[in-house]
Amino acid sequence: MSETVGDVQVLEFRLEDRKYCIDIAHVDEIVDKEELTPLPNSARHIEGVMDLRGTTTTIVNPKTVLGLQETETGERVVVLEGDGDDHVGWLIDAVNQVVSIDTDEVDESVESGSVRGIVRQDDDFVVWIKPDEIND
């Protein structure tokens, strides 16, 4: 992704050895992972909940939803903008950068339930994720 002026700003992050991004408009903040309280009988991709300044925040592991092999659980949490009382964060391995992209340059031929498209970055691909599909 070039750092030139584009249509949309995205947060680029890493899960395992792969790069992903989401529209920055969905991001509320990025925090370090704290102790999680497991939720019995919850969906497989729910790691638990954590207290974020007095707010109970559900922590989702996008690796599970995306079918990635988990070597470790991430240490950073991307807290997403929620609807009302719905507070969700994603466990990620690392935050790379915030960049502007031109949406005309996004390859949407690979769009699927959780993927909006592919962004080329030098000789690499960055998968653009749809947050609503990961959180369900």
Write out the H or E segment, with its range, that includes residue 80. strand 76-80
Considering the domain boundaries, does residue 16 fall inside one? yes
Q: Which neighbouring-strand residues pair with 129?
A: 115
pLDDT score, position 2: 43
The answer to whether position 1 is within a domain reads: no
Mean pLDDT value across residues 70-84: 83
Domain count, the chain: 1
Name the one residue in this structure whose structure tokens are 């992209």. Answer: 101
Residue 65 lies in a domain: yes
- Over range 31-47, report the average pLDDT: 93
Name the β-bridge partners of 117. Answer: 128
Query: What is the average pLDDT value for the chain, to the nearest integer?
Result: 88
Residues 66, 78: contact at Cβ < 8 Å? no
Q: Which of 54, 40, 67, 50 has the alpha carbon at shortest distance from 129?
A: 67
Instruction: For 91-107, write each residue's pLDDT tens digit.
Output: 999 999 999 998 888 99
Q: State what percent of residues in the chain have pLDDT above 70.
A: 93
pLDDT of 5 over the 60 cut:
no
Work out whether strand 88-92 and strand 18-23 pair parallel, antiparallel, or are unpaired.
unpaired
**Residue 94 tokens, joined:** 């690392």
**CA separation for the pair 13, 27 (Å, rounded):** 12
Residue 45 domain-assigned (yes or no): yes
- Contact between residue 13 and residue 24 where contact means Cβ atoms under 8 Å apart: no
3-state secondary structure of 40: coil
Q: By CB neighbour count within 10 A (0-12 exposed, 13-18 middle, 19+ buried), where does 52 fall?
A: middle
Asked if pLDDT for residue 1 goes beyond 80, the answer is: no
pLDDT average, residue stretch 28-54: 93
In the predicted model, what is the mean pLDDT of residues 114-125?
Answer: 88
pLDDT band, very low/low/confident/very high, at 27 (cuts 50, 70, 90): very high
Q: Give me the domain span that covers residue 92.
A: 8-135
Whether 70 is in a domain gets the answer yes
Assign residue 108 the CATH number of its domain: 2.40.50.180
When pLDDT is averaged across residues 73-88 and rounded to a whole number, the result is 86
Identify whether 69 is part of a domain: yes
- The residues pairing with 102 across neighbouring beta strands, listed in sequence order, are none
Average pLDDT of the residues in 2-7: 56
Q: Answer yes or no: is 96 within a domain.
A: yes
The predicted model scores a pTM of 0.86
Whether 6 has a pLDDT exceeding 70, the answer reads no
